[in-house]
Amino acid sequence: MTREERLSFCKICKNQKLDFKQGIVCGLTNAPANFENSCDSFDEDITLKNEIIFQEFENIHETVGKGIRLANYLLDLIFIYILGYLIGLMIGPILVNIAPDLIYSTNTSKILLFEYALGAFINMIYYVSFEASSGRTIGKYITKTKVVTLDGEKPNFSVIVMRSLCRLIPFEGFSFLGAEDSGWHDTFSKTKVVKA
């Protein structure tokens, strides 16, 4: 058994003691642990064990800051624009034939409504397809982050749809300007973005 494996027991033992030269030692022998399979003096301290479990959970599921969230947003926006451009290339010729009045319309409100609806559709397709399958968009792959529930689990499909729908709320991007490092799409869907 290695020193690190022994320390995994010593860190949660009531008999442990901190020695500034040797680190954690046995409080009964004042020596570093040297057992092979089990320690006869081991007395589990449930409070210490829970503290270590909580600390490890917090480290694994540490919410990323606003800088990384902004990077995710900008990277995803680039890929959404690329996707929108490709979809536009495909549906443009079709719309010329089946809805020329929309293409050549001078009614700006009609055009803006169509563009907003198409943009919302592309946004939903992008975020739902990526986050539902892997919890990560292309931007999150680049920044090595992922979406999880508040418990640290992978969100189910309905949670991802709710999260993606919330992104369509006007000025939702400004919801990150508050004290928290989460936006409305995190708050309403009870999710967070963590290091992958």
Residue 85 and residue 8 share a domain: no
pTM of the predicted model as reported, rounded to 2 decimal places: 0.67
Residue 165 and residue 102 share a domain: yes
Domain count, the chain: 2
Q: Which residue would you say has higher pLDDT here, 78 or 2?
A: 78
Residue 92 and residue 38 share a domain: no
Confidence (pLDDT) at 71: 93
Residue 181 and residue 98 share a domain: yes
In this predicted structure, the answer to whether residue 145 has a pLDDT above a threshold of 80 is yes
Q: Which of 57, 64, 76, 55 is closest to 145 using CA atoms?
A: 64
Residue 75 and residue 25 share a domain: no
Confidence (pLDDT) at 66: 87
Confidence (pLDDT) at 99: 80
Residue 108 and residue 54 share a domain: no
Residue 185 and residue 105 share a domain: yes
Amino acid at 23: G
Distance CA 173, CA 70 (A): 9
Structure tokens at 109: 């409100």
Picking from 43, 60, 77, the residue at the C-terminal end of a domain is 60
Cα–Cα distances in angstroms (integers) from residue 92 to residues 98, 99, 102, 116, in the given order = 10, 10, 11, 16
Identify the band that residue 75 occupies on the pLDDT scale cut at 50, 70 and 90.
very high
Residue 90 and residue 44 share a domain: no
Residue 145 and residue 104 share a domain: yes
Residue 50 and residue 14 share a domain: yes
Residue 148 and residue 101 share a domain: yes
Range of the domain at 9: 3-60
Amino acid at 75: L
